[in-house]
Structure 1
């Protein structure tokens, strides 16, 4: 490609040089060649610049394309994830028969500039309910162990399972769900309400359009309901609030 550009440059230079000499008018041959050489060189440089912009070099763009592709896929690259039994600080709650009634707040509907990792109007983009089987298929024995620890009592505290079931809901609120991960050692809490409703509070990081990882504190409220998969309940999202950490 570089050789072809050189040929185009030389051909353009020579053609313009010859054209100026032939059309020099009252100029003598010396001045005609001088002006032709200078003018042809300038036109040749212009043609060379045009070819460089339209047909970039083979080596340089390959590197640029690879770097661009790496940057483009970076937000969607997921790091390995393992499920650990959640360590939840249970907020003080009354006896099961005196649990408070849950009241959902107003859905958040805020703009999403490039520096935000959240989708605009994310609450309306999140799935209404998710089956426990999806997490069982993803985490296998780890999730099965958490379910076994909770037990089969219909009135049992389901906070550990609720903590895991919140994760896919929160990720769906992100521009790049695969880049969203819970912050290690971040304080996590759970509050239980009537009718098997729980509010899980934790911190998650996700990538924005600028390639930066942003931390958000979330409050995810969901209810355990009957599922369509045999042996697995489903969880319905009731409320979801996300706020940038430190704001």
Structure 2
């Protein structure tokens, strides 16, 4: 397209120059060429402007990686739980050195009105959560965290575990809409074998008296069928909540 635009510019300039020289009247050939060159250039510029209006320049295509990075930077998870800084793992990255997760007894204590927890909340918690359902709930946040973790079977998925704990924790609260979990920067993660993680952080929620109550939590989850994005799910292995005394 740029070559055709250049040809139109040269053709308009040459045609107008020749027309002025041939119709110069009483002017001599020297003045006729000067006027023809100037007039031809003006006409050629007008033609060039018309071509830009009719056929605008297409925007340059950016590299796909740059586009992905720009899209990821604008996603809501960067403003919420998916901070650029990942959850800090307290265990070695080498999967051979990871310990085996050992489940503890669930909490079944009744919850008084001043508690933000549901009575016997451990019996009300969902057993697992599909990744595709979680992605639908939080738009593309979880998909971005999965891409950042990579496809290696032993990749550290601490950030994914942090995000997946949120719906489980909300299920334990009397008023899930009031639940506010601290950001990933302040959380810690203990990694075990078989893509099992224990996320430790703090959360606050409202009780039946209208007061916000803060808790420290340990959320243990395991990813299963992680290679298949349509079947990948996270099992809840344990959730411990302890009130933080003010």
Q: Name the CA distance, whole Å, in 1 between partners of 2:103 and 2:177.
A: 27
Displacement after TM superposition at 1:179 (Å): 1.2
Q: Name the CA distance, whole Å, in 2 between partners of 1:84 and 1:117.
A: 22
Aligned position for 1:124: 123
Report matched runs for 1:76-155 at 5 Å.
Answer: 83-86=80-83, 87-93=86-92, 95-155=94-154
Aligned position for 2:19: none
Q: 1:215 to 1:132 in 2, by over 3 A?
A: same
Do the aligned partners of 2:82 and 2:184 also contact (CA within 8 Å) in 1? no
Do the aligned partners of 2:203 and 2:214 also contact (CA within 8 Å) in 1? yes
Q: 1:213 to 1:146 in 2, by over 3 A?
A: same
Aligned position for 1:182: 181
Aligned position for 1:47: none
Q: CA-atom RMSD, angstroms?
A: 2.4
Displacement after TM superposition at 1:158 (Å): 1.0
Q: Name the CA distance, whole Å, in 2 between partners of 1:149 and 1:94.
A: 16
Displacement after TM superposition at 1:140 (Å): 1.9
Q: 1:197 to 1:142 in 2, by over 3 A?
A: same
Do the aligned partners of 1:223 and 1:235 also contact (CA within 8 Å) in 2? yes
Do the aligned partners of 2:87 and 2:185 also contact (CA within 8 Å) in 1? no
Aligned position for 1:156: 155
Q: After the TM superposition, which segments of 4 or more aligned residues of structure 1 sit over 3 Å from their partners? A: 80-84, 229-232
Per-residue CA deviations over 1:24-56 (Å, capped at 9, x if unaligned) read: xxxxxxxxxxxxxxxxxxxxxxxxxxxxxxxxx
Q: 1:230 to 1:195 in 2, by over 3 A?
A: closer
Q: Across the two proteins, how many residue pairs are aligned to each other?
A: 168
Do the aligned partners of 2:81 and 2:163 also contact (CA within 8 Å) in 1? no
Displacement after TM superposition at 1:131 (Å): 0.8
